[in-house]
Amino acid sequence: MRLLIFLSILVFGLNPNAVTSEKSTFTVALDGSGDFKSIQEAINQCQSFPYEKFTIFIKNGVYKEKIKVHEWNSNLQLIGESQEKTIITFDDHFKKINLGRNSTFFTYTMLVEANDVLLKNLTIENSLGEVGQAIALSVTSTRVSVVNCKLLGNQDTLYASGIGKQFYKDCYIEGTVDFIFGSATAYFENCQLHSKSDSFITASSTPKDVEFGFVFDKCKLTSNDKASKVYLGRPWRIYAKTVFLNCDLGKHILPEGWHNWSKPEAEKSAFYGEFQSTGEGSNANSRVKWSHQLSKKEAKSYTKKNILGEKSKSKIHWYENL
């Protein structure tokens, strides 16, 4: 047996002292009371492409780490002890990265590339302040759920992208310019979107043949004292799709609602809509003419099941029981 172990170490480079992922849960704690002190170290020790869910429980603390959930880390759950006190923070930004015109995409505090991931009870922050593009959370995969999380930043706080489907529930998301942007089909339920300056909330880049882009349902749009002239969105790409359903819009939302980003062609190709907006910023009659106030019949297609549902033999959909 000892010879077999020695040969395995020699041939495959196995570490006999490493923690294996045969268990179903790791615990991360800064004080050393868990399996790891580092979130990234715990992720790196997870089994690749597991058949069952694997949970990393993160105890309260401030973790200054740049986190990457690799493509092979599917079926992973990162669950914090509490939203307020389990904080993941980093301070990269466009000029600091300095990798050319696409430096924005390298600025993330956390990047999720794996499918079937759950983030819950976490604060994820890009802490550097108003210095230009600086992502807090970047999600480029599908069937990713973000539940009861705070996403803190300024410009480009949340990059919800790729061609997959994403679900954000009971989250607080703050920022300045285009602080929710990307190409994903993303459903936001009961979230607070907090504007910190006069700017734009969304900048979707929905692909041409995709039915839904960003959909916000029962969300509350708030602002600080610096923000009094805020647009609901502008098209990063000309086929952008963004719809607000049953949302409470603060007085900081401009009457025209939407901006074409100096792309007049987007007025014909993009789809921007609302259904039953309330609050001082609703102003349905003052919206730009190329936006849409949905009828009840049109709004019926914007259900969670229609937007996020996929063919599956399972009776429980991936976005349920979170």
Residue type, 275: F
Catalytic: 31? no
Task: Say which residues have a Cβ less than 8 Å from residue 130's Cβ, sequence separation at least 6.
Answer: 154, 155, 176, 197
Residue type, 54: F
Catalytic: 91? no
DSSP string, 17-64: TSPPS-SSEEEE-TTS-SSBS-HHHHHHTSPSS-SS-EEEEE-SEEEE
Residue type, 106: F
Q: Report the side by side order of strands in the sheet with 76-80.
A: 25-28, 54-58, 76-80, 117-120, 144-147, 165-169, 185-189, 214-217, 241-245, 271-275, 292-293
Task: Say which residues have a Cβ less than 8 Å from residue 217's Cβ, sequence separation at least 6.
Answer: 187, 188, 189, 190, 245, 246, 247, 302, 304
Catalytic residue among 92, 178, 198, 217: 178
Q: Tokens standing for 41?
A: 């170290």
Distance CA(241)–CA(182), nearest Å, equals 11
Catalytic residue among 156, 170, 217, 225: 156
Task: Say which residues have a Cβ less than 8 Å from residue 300's Cβ, sequence separation at least 6.
Answer: none
Q: Which residues are catalytic?
A: 156, 178
